[in-house]
Amino acid sequence: MTEWLGLPPLASAHGGQIDSLIGWTHIFMFVLFIGWGSFFTYCLIRFRRSRNPVADYAGVTSHSSSYLEVAVAVVEAILLFAFSIPLWAARVDRMPPANEALVVQVTGEQFAWNVHYPGPDGVFGRTDIKLLDLQSNPLGLDREDPAAKDDVTTLNQLYLPVNRPIIVRLKSKDVIHSFGVPEFRVKQDAIPGLTIPIWFVPTITTAEMRRQTGKPEFQYEIACAQLCGLGHARMRGFVTVQTAEEFQAWLQSEIELQSAPDPFR
Site for Cu ion, rule CB under 5 A? 177, 224, 228, 235
CB of 236 to Cu ion, least distance (A): 10
For Cu ion, the closer of residues 10 and 228 by Cβ is: 228
Q: What is the dihedral of CA 161, 184, 11, 78, to 10 degrees?
A: 130
Nearer to Cu ion, 166 or 235 (CB): 235
Q: How many CB atoms lie within 10 A of CB 215?
A: 10
Element (H, E) at 41: helix 15-46
Q: What contacts 158, CB < 8 A, 6 or more positions away?
A: 104, 106, 113, 115, 222, 237, 238, 239, 240
Q: How far is the CB of 174 from Cu ion (least distance, A)?
A: 9
- Whole-number minimum distance, CB 106 to Cu ion, in Å? 12
Q: Which is nearer to Cu ion, 14 or 177 (CB)?
A: 177
- Residue closer to Cu ion by CB (options 148, 228) is 228
The whole-angstrom distance between residue 104's C-alpha and the CA centroid of its chain comes to 15
What is the three-class DSSP state of 29? helix
At closest approach, how far in Å is the CB of 160 from Cu ion? Answer: 20
Query: Closest approach of Cβ 114 to Cu ion, in Å?
Result: 12
What is the sign of the dihedral through the CA atoms of 241, 163, 99 and 173? Answer: positive
CA 70 remoteness from chain centre:
34
Least distance (Å) between residue 224 CB and Cu ion: 3
Strand partners, 186: 181
Question: Considering beta carbons, is residue 14 or 116 the nearer one to Cu ion?
Answer: 116
Give the pairing of strands 220-224 and 236-242. antiparallel
Whichever of 167 and 235 has its CB closer to Cu ion, that residue is: 235
3-class DSSP assignment, residue 204: coil
Q: Phi and psi (nearest 5°) for 71?
A: -60, -40
Residue closer to Cu ion, measured from CB, 165 or 180: 180
Residue 249 contacts by C-beta under 8 Å, 6 or more apart in sequence? none
CB of 230 to Cu ion, least distance (A): 11
